[in-house]
């Protein structure tokens, strides 16, 4: 190699090292970015934590029979509203994804009415299940928004 080629190669190497050092020094005074607490996927449990917490909040008035955070299933025991003791409800919430999306949650409800001292299955209005899903999704979004602003 000629002296000129060797000198050019060294100059290029030094120039690259200088640019890299300058780039690194620019980062020295800055704080590392905080983790996005409001990411759509929150993986500390098996399902989206905002949907999980929102579901537990929405069903907090009902006795829980099972709550499996890794599988994303919440099952309540029968609940009778004190204002209407002749009717009782049981709810199952399934969280299907780690993303905070409307189709990541499924709610199923069972209803029974008292007839002659025995509980008899009765239909559940579709609007009841839809309203509960809306309540959970709204609460999950509020929790996520609070994590962003907090």
- Which has the closest alpha carbon to 91: 135, 48, 49? 135
How far, in Å, are 25, 28, 35, 53, 59 from residue 67 at the CA level? 50, 46, 28, 11, 11
**CB proximity list for 33: less than 8 A, separation 6 or greater:** none
* Res 46: pLDDT: 83
pLDDT tens readout for residues 96-136:
999 999 999 999 999 999 999 999 999 999 999 999 999 99
pLDDT in tens, 36-83: 555 555 456 789 999 999 999 999 999 999 999 999 999 999 999 999
Distances in whole angstroms, Cα of residue 88 to Cα of each of 50, 56, 115: 28, 19, 12
Banded model confidence at residue 32, pLDDT cuts 50, 70, 90: very low
* Cα separation, 105 vs 93, whole angstroms: 7
**pTM (whole model) above 0.85:** no
What's the Cα-to-Cα distance from 83 to each of 46, 79, 88, 121, rounded to whole Å? 37, 12, 11, 19
- The predicted pLDDT at position 21 comes to 52
Question: Whole-angstrom distance between the N-terminal and C-terminal Cα of the chain?
Answer: 61
């Amino acid at each position: 190699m000629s002296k000129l080629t060797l000198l050019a190669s060294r100059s290029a190497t030094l120039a690259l090292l200088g640019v890299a050092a300058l780039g690194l020094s620019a980062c020295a005074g800055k704080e590392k970015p905080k983790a996005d607490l409001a990411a759509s996927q929150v993986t500390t449990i098996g399902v989206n934590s905002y949907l999980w917490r929102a579901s537990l909040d929405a069903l907090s008035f009902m006795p829980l029979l099972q709550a499996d955070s890794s599988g994303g299933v919440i099952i309540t025991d029968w609940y009778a509203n004190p204002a209407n003791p002749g009717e009782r409800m049981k709810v199952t919430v399934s969280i299907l994804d780690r993303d905070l999306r409307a189709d990541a949650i499924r709610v199923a409800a069972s209803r029974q009415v008292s007839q002659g001292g025995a509980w008899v299955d009765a239909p559940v209005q579709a609007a009841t299940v839809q309203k509960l899903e809306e309540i959970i999704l709204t609460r999950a979004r509020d929790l996520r928004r609070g994590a962003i602003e907090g």
